[in-house]
Structure 1
C-alpha cells in the first residue's frame, strides 16, 4: 500500500510539473483536469503560437479536431461552479471578455501555419476549444486553434462549424443545471463531436 501511495504521489507531481510548464495552474480532482489560463485581460496582446508545422489535425466522423498536444484546452479562472450566474450565464459575458480582432487576426494567421492549414482563412474559424460560453480562457494559445469548416460547408461563405451548435446547447445545459461545468469542459476538450452523448444529452 505504501509503495502504491508513493507511485500515486509521483504521478501527481509529474502532472503538476507539466501544468506549470505550460504556465497553468494545477487543477484538483474535482475539476475538469484542464489547466487554467490567465483569464480575461483589460488589454490583450498577441500570443506566440506553436512552431509552424508542429500541430496536426485529427478527425472524428469527418469533423475536425485539434492536436491534443498543441491545443489541449485552457480555462478561464474567473468561471467556476459558484460564479456561473455572474459569468457565463450572464447574457453578454462572452462578448465582454473576447479579445479584439487586432489581436486574434494576427494569432489566427500564425496558428494556421502551426497547423499547416492551406484552406481559405475566411472559411476557417479561430476557435476556442473550450468556448468562452463554457468557461474557456479568452486568449491562452492552448485553447485556440484554426478550425477548418465542417463537411458540406460552402466555400467562400465564411465560418460555419457544427461545433458552434454543440457549444450553444451545452451552454444551455450548464445554465439550466442539467450538467456540471467541469464535466462539460472535459467532454468538449476531449472530443466536441461526442461531448453531448458522453454527457447523456443525446
Structure 2
C-alpha cells in the first residue's frame, strides 16, 4: 500500500523536476507555446457571434464575449516590462488571415477581409494569448493605430509602473475596453504621440 502511494506521488512530482520544460516553451493552460506556436482554432458556427459597436468611431467595436472572451498566456512580467517585445510570439499572417476569414463568417460579416483587422482582445503586451481563437477576432475597420491601441499602451504602462495589476488590466480590456478607454481619458497610441 505504501509502495503504491509512493509510486503515485513520484509519478506526479517527477515530471516537474529538472527546472521546467526543456524546450523552453511557456505553458498556458494545457497548450504549449513556443514562440509563435499555432493553436488549432476553435471557430463558432456561421452567424452565431455578434459584434457590438460601442462608440461613434469606425474602430470602436467589441466582440461577442461568448465567442471571444479573451485568453492569456503565462509568462513573467519581465517579458513585457518596461518594453513589450511581442515579435517572438506574434502569429504569422498566414495563420491570422485564415482565422480572420473563418471568424468573419462566425460573426456574420460579409464584407472584404481588408475591412477588418484580426485583433487580439487581450493584447500581446498584456500577455494576451497570441494564437488562441478565443483571444482573436475580426475587428471592423482596418485602421491602425486605433482607439483600442491607445488603451493597450496606457494599460501596459499602468502595469509596468505598478499602478494596476496585470490581471486587472486584462479584465478591463476584455470586459469593456471602450468604457475603460473613456475613463482613462481617451489615451492615444504611442505611435501617434511619439511616446
TM-score under structure 1 length normalisation = 0.68
- Tell whether the 8 Å contact from 1:40 to 1:138 is kept in structure 2 after alignment: no
For residues 176 and 69 of structure 1, the distance between their equivalents in structure 2, rounded to whole angstroms, comes to 32
Query: Take 2:147 and 2:30, find their aligned partners in 1: how far apart are those partners?
Result: 25
Contact 2:84–2:125 under 8 Å retained in 1:
no
Query: Gaps (5+ residues) in structure 1?
Result: 1-34, 150-157
Q: Distance in 2 between matches of 1:128 and 1:37?
A: 20
User: What is the CA distance between 1:196 and its match in structure 2?
Assistant: 4.2
Any idea what SS the aligned residue of 1:136 has?
coil
Partner of 1:147: 139
User: How much is the aligned-residue C-alpha RMSD, in angstroms?
Assistant: 2.2
Structure 2 Cα separation of the partners of residues 40 and 125 of structure 1: 23
Which runs of no fewer than 5 residues in structure 2 stay unpaired? 1-27, 186-195
TM-score, normalised to structure 2, is 0.70
Q: 2-side partners of 1:76 and 1:37: how far apart?
A: 11
Q: Counterpart of 2:101?
A: 109
1:41 aligns with 2:34: yes
Please say if 1:119 is aligned against 2:111.
yes
Bigger radius of gyration? 2
Query: How many pairs are equivalent?
Result: 153
Corresponding residue of 2:65: 68
| Aligned counterparts of 1:179 and 1:90: Cα–Cα separation in 2 | 14
